[in-house]
Amino acid sequence: MFNRLLDSPVHLIILLVLVLLLFGAKRLPDAARGLGRSLRIFKSEVKEMKRDDAPPSADSSAPLEGRVVVDTDAPKHTPSGSHTGAPGSDPHRNA
């Protein structure tokens, strides 16, 4: 339906005149500028999403070198009470 509308240059000129009359000459540059900004932001977000989805490079898959540090000064956590963790062994629960 719309492809026949834009076949003739006369139809395109009439459409442009109608848009100019509806929105006014002052608002068209602002609207085009806003549309351009929106498209630029959209393109940058799409590019960032593609970069995030890309497989990691060979450098990032290399193993890390380092040493394991064990903190011996940390207090040991001891559970309070006599709860063994077995099902049904909670003394505070009514059967």
Q: What are the tens digits of pLDDT across the range 56-91?
A: 665 566 666 777 777 777 666 655 655 555 666 666
Does a structural domain hold residue 69?
no
Residue 1, pLDDT > 70, answer no
The helices-and-strands tally (H runs, E runs) of the chain is 3, 0
Does a structural domain hold residue 71?
no
The pTM (predicted TM-score) of the whole model is 0.39
Does a structural domain hold residue 88?
no
The pLDDT assigned to 38 comes to 96
Q: Percent of the chain, pLDDT > 70?
A: 60
- Terminal CA-to-CA distance of the chain, rounded, Å? 74
Does a structural domain hold residue 30?
yes
Does a structural domain hold residue 94?
no
Based on the structure, what is the number of domains in the chain?
1
